Structure 1
Amino acid sequence: MKKILILMLFSASLSMHAQGKMFKLYHDAAALTADANTVVKDFTVKVNAIAPVIVVTPSAIVNTQPYLIFYSSKSNQVNLPVWREVIPEQKAFFAKLAGSAEEGEKMFGYFFNGFYVAHEMGHALQHASGKSDPNLYRNEYTANTIAILYWRKTGHTQELKQCYDYAKKMVKQLPNPVPEGEDPVQYFNDHYEELGADPYKYGFYQFAQFAKIYEDQSLGDFDSYIKNF
């Protein structure tokens, strides 16, 4: 019994150690892959302890694409971007909104080498449980909610607060892409491909969602949310 308890505590310690390295800019693709996979496995264990729906644990890989970070249900992989491979236009986007190239790199690290790993695992959970929402806006909202609750559960409140501060700063600068008089949810669903191709338009939606969910005082905890999912 003591050996089992020691192994459990050691495993938990390793998990928190790796998670503590997230929310920063990675230059080493191998290190990013290793730490992200620790988060992926921890997320899976925590979900399956409540409801064993993720039968095959996804894997995280470095695969820098214009989408930056995404979950592929076909390969069951979380695809991550490494900064040195990000296209110049996207680097300029982060630098402009953050106020400097250095701060833009930091912002990128917090979101795309940190927060969004759990967001994509939210999509993996949706796929594994057969609960991907045909309403694309709600689908993203759910993934963002799951990610915020997961990072809170794992003690990353300071990192989430920094993400929130960045999100508020970005939303203030980004023009609202929704034409006057149109419903923002319906517009997102109808113009998803167009919005996804423009970081300024898609960024407005994603960061506005983050801020709204973060400020929502009615949210319960991760375990309760997953039980009711």
Structure 2
Amino acid sequence: MKKGFVIVVLFFLSQITFAQKEWFSTFADSTALVKQANQISSTFIKDIAKIKPTLVLTLKTRLNTTPYLIYYDDDGKQKTANLPLWEQVIPEQKAFFYEVAGGEVEGKEVFGLFFNGFYLPHELGHALEQMIEGNVFGSYESEYFANVVAMLWWKKQGKQKELEQCYNYAKRMWAKLPNPVPEGMTIEAYFKANYQQASQNPYTYGYMQFKQFILVYEDKNLPNFEVFVKNYLASKGKL
């Protein structure tokens, strides 16, 4: 009886470990993608509530592959975090990943690391910022905030290995992307003035996002997730 119980427990734990390993990889099963995304979102929302119990994020995570790939949407009745499935991504975007990552295998891996991986709590960071400040989307600063939130939250989850993989790819890809910012203009000003147009161009938007990832990853002065969120809420008079 005890032996059988141990076997069952070990099998259950192995299933949990396997499921956890799937995130930060390219999903083929849309049901599994959404299920795990909802689990991650639920954990993130609970972590925010532990910091401020009256702050409750309400959103639905869903499969919705578009040229924007992964994004937070609050335009409809239901706030949503929208996720992409690799098989539904348009050929032009797949070609972009192949090009900047260094091949088809690498391009598919990058998609999983970032778009079935890192960027989900990034979008939840947008949801947090929108709840506290209103509509602040469409700026370099808002994207940087969301990247910090995602980076610190994943560190809290013990995903340093996956973050390092993202970092190594981000450096490789960013080095291949042309700088879209005109001489004499700051990157913050450029993206504030051209955000919508830039977000529709993977080369331009990738230049900003991968650069931000590198900067945030290398920032040794960032506090942990809880302290960062507390400081943010306090700075807005919401703690």
TM superposition score normalised by structure 2: 0.86
Partner of 1:29: 30
* Residue range with higher mean Cα deviation, 98-107 or 128-137: 128-137
Partner of 2:144: 141
SS for the counterpart of 2:109 is helix
* 1:21 Cα offset (Å): 2.3
CA contact (8 A) 1:123 1:132 kept: no
Partner of 2:40: 39
Change (3 A) 1:19 1:138: farther
SS for the counterpart of 2:58 is coil
Residue 229 of structure 2, aligned match among 220, 226, 229:
226
Partner of 1:70: 71
Q: Output aligned runs, 1:47-62, within 5 Å.
A: 47-62=48-63
Residue 107 of structure 1, aligned match among 105, 110, 130:
110
Partner of 1:79: 82
Q: Match for 2:71: what amino acid?
A: F
* Residue range with higher mean Cα deviation, 27-36 or 49-58: 49-58
Q: Is the counterpart of residue 192 in structure 1 residue 217 in structure 2?
A: no
Name segments (4+ residues, structure 1) moved above 3 Å: 13-20, 131-135
Q: Is the counterpart of residue 159 in structure 1 residue 149 in structure 2?
A: no
The whole-number CA distance in structure 1 between the counterparts of 2:214 and 2:24 is 17
What RMSD, in angstroms, separates the aligned Cα atoms of the two structures?
1.8
SS for the counterpart of 2:183 is coil
SS for the counterpart of 2:53 is coil
SS for the counterpart of 1:228 is helix
Q: How many residues align?
A: 217
CA contact (8 A) 1:122 1:143 kept: yes
Change (3 A) 1:132 1:218: farther
The whole-number CA distance in structure 1 between the counterparts of 2:66 and 2:128 is 22
CA contact (8 A) 1:62 1:82 kept: yes
SS for the counterpart of 2:82 is strand
The whole-number CA distance in structure 2 between the counterparts of 1:28 and 1:54 is 33
SS for the counterpart of 1:219 is coil
The whole-number CA distance in structure 1 between the counterparts of 2:98 and 2:220 is 32
The whole-number CA distance in structure 1 between the counterparts of 2:174 and 2:127 is 27
Q: Output aligned runs, 1:165-180, within 5 Å.
A: 165-180=168-183
**C-alpha deviations, 1:18-74, integer Å up to 9, x for none?**
543210000110000000000000000001100135435322111000000000123
Residue 181 of structure 1, aligned match among 173, 179, 184:
184
Q: Percent identity?
A: 44
CA contact (8 A) 2:57 2:127 kept: no
Task: Please tell me whether Structure 1 or Structure 2 has the larger radius of gyration of its CA atoms.
Answer: 2
Show structure 1 runs of 5+ residues with no match. Answer: 1-12
TM superposition score normalised by structure 1: 0.90
SS for the counterpart of 1:79 is strand
* Residue range with higher mean Cα deviation, 168-177 or 121-130: 121-130
Q: Match for 2:68: what amino acid?
A: Y
